[in-house]
């Protein structure tokens, strides 16, 4: 038997939050485990084929954690504010907001394990 619709939305909120936390834990653990293979300055952005924004591993990990946890929180809070209830928030948007920065930032750093791409 399916749970009531309102309960499914609340479950969706918890799934989005859980994925965000797991994304930070797994992404940080993976990058930390290969920190000796990463360049001193990790390239975060390229312009015309040349790196133009670089950061240290600590900065990359902080940026990834803040965005991976903060963006879903903002989406859920905006949904809560507009819907007036935690039962009708934007769970799927929050899930996307958790996965996208985690994949982009951790993935970009992971791809540079043996030097900038």
Q: What region, left, alpha or beta, does residue 115 occupy, with left being phi > 0 and alpha being psi -120 to 50 degrees?
A: left
The more confident residue out of 83 and 70 is 70
DSSP string, the chain: -PPPHHHHHHHHHHHHHHHHHHHHHHHHHHHHHTGGGS-SSEEEEEETTEEEEEE-HHHHHHHHHHHHHHHHHHHHHHHHHHHSSGGGS-HHHHHHHHHHHIIIIIHHHHTTTTS--
Nearest to 24 by CA among 114, 103, 84: 103
Q: What is the pLDDT of residue 88?
A: 66
pLDDT digits (tens, 9 = 90+) for 13-71: 899 999 999 999 999 999 999 999 999 999 998 898 888 899 999 999 999 999 999 99
Please name the residue that has the structure tokens 């936390």.
21
Q: What is the pTM of this model?
A: 0.85
What is the predicted pLDDT for the residue at 31? 96
């Amino acid at each position: 038997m399916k749970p009531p619709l309102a309960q499914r939305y609340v479950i969706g909120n918890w799934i989005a939050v859980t994925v965000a936390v797991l994304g930070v834990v797994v992404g940080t653990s993976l990058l930390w485990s290969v920190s000796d293979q990463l360049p001193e300055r990790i390239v975060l952005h390229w312009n015309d084929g040349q790196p133009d924004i670089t950061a240290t591993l600590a900065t990359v990990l902080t940026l990834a954690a803040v965005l991976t946890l903060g963006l879903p929180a903002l989406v859920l809070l905006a949904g809560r504010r507009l819907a007036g209830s935690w039962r009708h928030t934007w769970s799927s948007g929050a899930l996307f907001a958790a996965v996208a920065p985690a994949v982009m930032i951790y993935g970009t750093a992971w791809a540079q394990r043996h030097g900038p791409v």
